A = this chain, B = another copy of it.
Amino acid sequence: MTLFSELQSLLGADHVLAGADAAPYLTDWRRRYHGTALAVVRPGSTEAVADVVRACLRHGAPLVPQGGNTGLCGGATPDDSGRAVVLSTARLNRVRAVDTDNDTITVEAGCVLQAVQEAAEAAGRLFPLSLAAEGSCTIGGNLATNAGGTQVLRYGNARDLTLGLEVVTAEGEIWHGLRGLRKDNTGYDLRDLYVGSEGTLGIITAATLKLYPRPVATCTALLTLASVADAVELLSRARAGFGASLTGFELMAGDCLQGVVKLFPQQRLPFEGESARSPWFALLELSDSESEAHARERFEAVLSAAIEDGLATDAAIAANLAQSQALWHLRESIPLAEAELGKAVKHDVSIPISAIAGFVGKTNALLQAEFPHVRNVIFGHLGDGNLHYNVARAPGQTEEELLALQPRIYDVVHASVMAHEGSISAEHGVGQLKRDELPRYKSGVELALMKRIKQALDPHGVFNPGKVLQT
């Protein structure tokens, strides 16, 4: 029997797609990566996933797991050999259990992140993972890529939110590791190894995740700052003053927000004059477990002190939920405003927070020296040391001219990242995009260890070949 027929008999013909039906699964949402496949399958249970894995193993066909297909590194797009089977987790979308006494939720991999957030909210709890694609990305994809987002400062990455996993191994066996335990020291940490492995070691089919109390009140403010160094100092103050109540600290270069309000006139900066022309902005969020009044008093006390001490030059505190949403909307509109400048050369880097000011100053200078007049589009999650340090074309430069420089721009920025002891992929992963860069920025010892683990857990190379590691 051909693999295609075998898959049809295992899953039913309706759940084995080819031709036009398969097409949406063969390119990423930004249409940067394109592949072909023997079939796209949509198994409806963990057992069916295991069946598919064993069938692929028998036929020597590569298997590419795919969640919401919102990744930024091509990790869920097959190659162009036409041999791969793409496994969509779309039908694995049940919330299996919510346990409020244990503060856990158990969900299947294909659950959309927003659905997980909503299930938590319905139980009076918070599932804090939050990122731009939350309306379409799946929790399985979030775990496979160890997703970050805007709440990492307080709650950690996807890995930190995970207590247990159910995984189909490369032999098509099922590891039932859905534990809801805060402490478990009975052997090697398989859980954290599968999280972030981008579908190259196993297929996560379900997870038990941590829930938190919902904040009683939230305060948001936009501050203007003279420099990145001041932002780092302000972050240190905010951490000391707010403790674990500090749930967001976003840094944005002035021209990012100035570009947003220019492109979207219905959006407004809450500042006039000098403050509106500030070189840097910071968006701070405090989540309080007591009361609106307490949150506001505390927020204002720490921010006032920061302004008095000259760390911030001005501040606009949201007076209500609508104003708070408007501030976050400014932040979230940056990628759209950036697109107006034409395709940019993008970086998703992290740097020790103490080195960020130096990194930004140094890297800006290196870029201007080598590529005069290119524009920086710098924003990110300062609280996590994570910057989206992007580079847009110089005035008069065409998009094509800039993109032709992309490899050289990568070189300059990533070399600077390494010189500052940072990471060339903070939250987006490796996928295809950075696979061939990895050997330049990771030690041979670390790469060899990674290859041994790949060989140990996927000895036949079935799972997502060509992602993360070179084959």
Contacts and interface: CB of A to CB of B under 8 A. Distances in A.
Interface string A174-202: 11110111111111111011011100010
A121 interface: no
Contacts of A329: none
A183 B384 contact: yes
Given A213-B239, A243-B213, A456-B453, A186 B101 contact: no
A197 B434 CA distance: 30
A290 interface: yes
Please provide the 8 A-B residue pairs with the shortest distance between their CB atoms, ordered closest to farther. Answer: A244-B244, A243-B289, A101-B354, A456-B456, A192-B192, A184-B423, A183-B426, A452-B456
Given A240-B289, A452-B457, A457-B449, A159 B189 contact: yes
Given A157-B183, A353-B103, A245 B289 contact: yes
A201 B442 CA distance: 20
30 contacts: A101-B236, A101-B353, A103-B239, A148-B185, A169-B449, A175-B445, A179-B421, A181-B351, A181-B426, A183-B350, A183-B385, A183-B423, A183-B427, A184-B426, A185-B426, A186-B442, A187-B438, A188-B197, A188-B468, A190-B449, A190-B450, A192-B193, A193-B193, A215-B243, A243-B244, A244-B289, A290-B298, A449-B457, A452-B457, A453-B453
Interface string A367-407: 00000000000000101111000000000000000000000
A126 to B, nearest CB: 10
A425 B429 CA distance: 33
Interface string A40-68: 00000000000000000000000000000
A242 interface: yes
A140 interface: no
